[in-house]
Structure 1
Amino acid sequence: MSQPIIAVEHVTKQVQDSTGTLTILHEIDFTLLPNQSAAIVGASGSGKSTLLSIIAGLDTPTTGTVRLAGTDLFALDEDARAGVRASKVGFVFQSFQLLGNLTALENVMLPLELQGRSDARMQATEMLKRVGLGERLRHYPKVLSGGEQQRVALARAFVVRPALLLADEPTGSLDFATGEKVMELMFDLNREAGTTLVLVTHDRGIAARCDRQLQIEAGRLVTSAS
């Protein structure tokens, strides 16, 4: 049997507020195999985005850990976790997170350049063509539509061929029709790349397209349906 790409083990996240200790996540456990897709679903404030941040190693759990391709993320220091993210993880955010002073091509080249890749320009150009933006390489984010910006973000995420893609409400800033097109492209790219996909969504239709649905209620994993 394949080794899990993601193993979330007894993850609890607590913070202190004026009323005392607030538990955001409580004893979360699940694994995902290579090429699987999973949707994290639940009401606003249920802990979905916090869980995604912990899976990425961007936030730290109070107890428990996350193993990415067998590596215990929280046995590493922040620099080492950043290195793991750079080599194994792609991100797509609701707010696109493109750098406004870089062109579409430069935004997609950036993660490859950080890896020291000499073919960054060629690979980024090909990926932008794949997402239908071959004519927009030298355009800056401010002149691109929301759908085009999200396609640049998809190209940036997939160009490094990550083992894991994390997406946080990827259609939340888009109208319905544009969101549908972006999600179709995301699932197509995911199949082509053989990536494990974890996405946070309120959209039950999007969630239903994933292999598994991880239902979070008040910080607890209440179902892990296939």
Structure 2
Amino acid sequence: MPASDPPAIEASGLVKRVAAPGGELTILDGVDLSVARGERLAILGASGSGKSTLLGLLAGLDLPTRGRVRLDGVELTALDEEGRAAARAGRVGFVFQNFQLLPALTALENVMLPLELAGAADAEARAREALARVGLADRLRHTPGRLSGGEQQRVALARAFAPRPAILFADEPTGNLDEATGREVAELLFALNREHGTTLVLVTHDPRIARPCDRVLELAGGRLHEAGRRRAAGG
């Protein structure tokens, strides 16, 4: 029988320690995780629990003190920063709490940027299509400073999905939005995720945002705990 595809993400024995005024602080203490291709995983936890640290390690934005991470079959922890960036290119998208849009660029230019960096010949057409999908066809020429918080996060969603990544990491994507706007953005995130079939790793403090996911884990005391499981077709 042919070998099955490897998981989208595998982590084993992840430990992360940082220097602190009172001595070394352990943020993650032996995290093991496997995320199947196409799975929607939510990681819940209180502020300061290490959720964003874990997401950064899974994406190869940082290295663990100890342990291994494999992304789409590539061992990130065996690579230098340039190698990890190359492993993410074309495979990974990000949505951040603080939007991370370039303030001098228009919405269209922000979405075009990763497409152009990937060498897409149709970058502008794809960026226009992505912005129209998130309801911003009439905001193409607006810079972030002329957009509301909800509109900025919609631009960030368009930018993340336009390159058609296999894996999307979302770090508190509704954390800077009011409740109603946050709910709308979350619904759009999951709708885009369904359309693209993207593997999703979402970190949030809000169980309501996590509800549509196939699996929910909780990060507490530096370790992951099963918090609940939903039908894969749910949400």
Match of 1:78 in 2: 81
The number of residues matched between the two structures is 226
**CA shift digits 1:108-132 (9 cap, x unpaired):** 0000111111110111011111111
Match of 2:40 in 1: 37
Matches of 1:222 and 1:130, distance apart in 2: 36
Q: 2:189 aligns to what SS in structure 1?
A: helix
Tell me by how many angstroms 1:86 deviates: 2.2
Match of 2:232 in 1: none
- Is 1:132 aligned to residue 112 of structure 2? no
1:91-110 correspondence to structure 2 within 5 Å: 91-110=94-113
Q: 1:135 aligns to what SS in structure 2?
A: helix
Tell me by how many angstroms 1:220 deviates: 1.2
- Is 1:90 aligned to residue 93 of structure 2? yes
Q: Is the 8 A contact 1:55 1:66 kept in 2?
A: yes
Amino acid paired to 2:93: G
Match of 1:178 in 2: 181
Tell me by how many angstroms 1:34 deviates: 1.1
Match of 2:163 in 1: 160
In percent, how many aligned pairs have the same letter?
61
Q: Is the 8 A contact 1:86 1:111 kept in 2?
A: no
Point out where structure 1 has 5 or more consecutive residues left out of the alignment. none
My pick for the range that moved more, 174-183 or 104-113, is 174-183
For 1:118, which of 97, 121, 140 is the aligned residue? 121
Q: 1:152 aligns to what SS in structure 2?
A: helix
Matches of 1:17 and 1:182, distance apart in 2: 36
Tell me by how many angstroms 1:20 deviates: 2.1
Matches of 1:184 and 1:170, distance apart in 2: 11
Matches of 1:151 and 1:58, distance apart in 2: 23
Matches of 1:224 and 1:147, distance apart in 2: 29
Matches of 2:104 and 2:52, distance apart in 1: 27
**CA shift digits 1:102-153 (9 cap, x unpaired):** 0000000000111111110111011111111111111111111111100000
Tell me by how many angstroms 1:18 deviates: 2.8
Moved over 4 A (4+): none
- Is 1:57 aligned to residue 65 of structure 2? no
1:135-214 correspondence to structure 2 within 5 Å: 135-214=138-217
Match of 1:24 in 2: 27
Q: TM-score normalized by structure 2?
A: 0.93
Tell me by how many angstroms 1:2 deviates: 4.0
Matches of 2:92 and 2:227, distance apart in 1: 22
Q: 1:214 aligns to what SS in structure 2?
A: strand
